[in-house]
Amino acid sequence: MKSKKVLTLVESAVLLGLAFALSFVKIIQMPWGGSVTLLSMLPLAVISIRHGLKWGLSAAFLFSALDFFESLGRVMVWGLTPTVFAGMVFLDYALAYTVIGLAGLFRRKGFEGQCLGVVFAVTLRFVCHFISGIVLWGEYAAYYEWAQDSVPLYSLLYNGAYMFPEIIFTTIGAVILLKVPYIQKLFTQA
């Protein structure tokens, strides 16, 4: 029993490291935060699918901390108020990334459930960023003539510009990964 926990811990650490490394491969970088990465959410989803919500949520939370501390230097020069900074830490990092750990929510329902879990988790991440865009970053809508009267529209388009491709790429990656027979066998063994 102890060796299974150690194996799960090591596997989760490797996948967490892979997720963090992939987060540096940015396909699209947005000006005020957010990016489309090379499937950086997929390893976190895999942890949750293979080992359950406890492991998935823990690894995703650790990822949020790693990503926050990695980007802290860029964030500190924005001149944020303490309230906005605290809201950003909670909504844009801790909550937004931790929900990726929910990818394993439907893991026992086979391929379809696993794919649904990935879509659900990454979509929840978008919802966190969307709410943050309204509550914390709505003032930036004033910079765009088309968004001055609609902060939710600004948040939808800004966050959607990177999150919709991230959702699509992560889902495609999950479908391909979960369709490989050898890998499918690994998921059923966990």
Give helix 110-135 / helix 42-51 axis angle, nearest 10°: 130
pLDDT tens, position by position, 47-58: 999 999 999 999
Is pLDDT at 135 greater than 90 in this prediction? yes
**E strands within the chain?**
26-29, 35-37
For residue 3, the model assigns a pLDDT of 87
Is pLDDT at 35 greater than 90 in this prediction? yes
Better pLDDT: 142 or 169: 169
pTM of the predicted model as reported, rounded to 2 decimal places = 0.90
Model confidence band, residue 79 (pLDDT cutoffs 50, 70, 90): confident
- For residue 33, the 8-state DSSP code is S
pLDDT tens, position by position, 82-131: 999 999 999 999 999 999 999 999 999 988 999 999 999 999 999 999 99
Residue 20 near residue 67 (C-beta atoms within 8 A): yes
Is pLDDT at 137 greater than 90 in this prediction? no
Better pLDDT: 35 or 140: 35
Listed residue (76, 60, 57, 56) closest to 190, CA to CA:
56
- Percentage, residues of the chain above pLDDT 90: 74
Model confidence band, residue 188 (pLDDT cutoffs 50, 70, 90): low
Q: Please name the helix (run of DSSP H) or strand (run of DSSP E) that holds residue 159, with its range, or none.
A: helix 151-179
Model confidence band, residue 1 (pLDDT cutoffs 50, 70, 90): low
Is pLDDT at 190 greater than 60 in this prediction? no
Which residues, 6+ apart, have CB-to-CB distance to 153 below 8 Å?
A: 141, 146, 147
Single-letter amino acid, residue 11: E
- Percentage, residues of the chain above pLDDT 70: 94
For residue 74, the model assigns a pLDDT of 87
Alpha carbons 89 and 94: distance in angstroms, whole number: 6
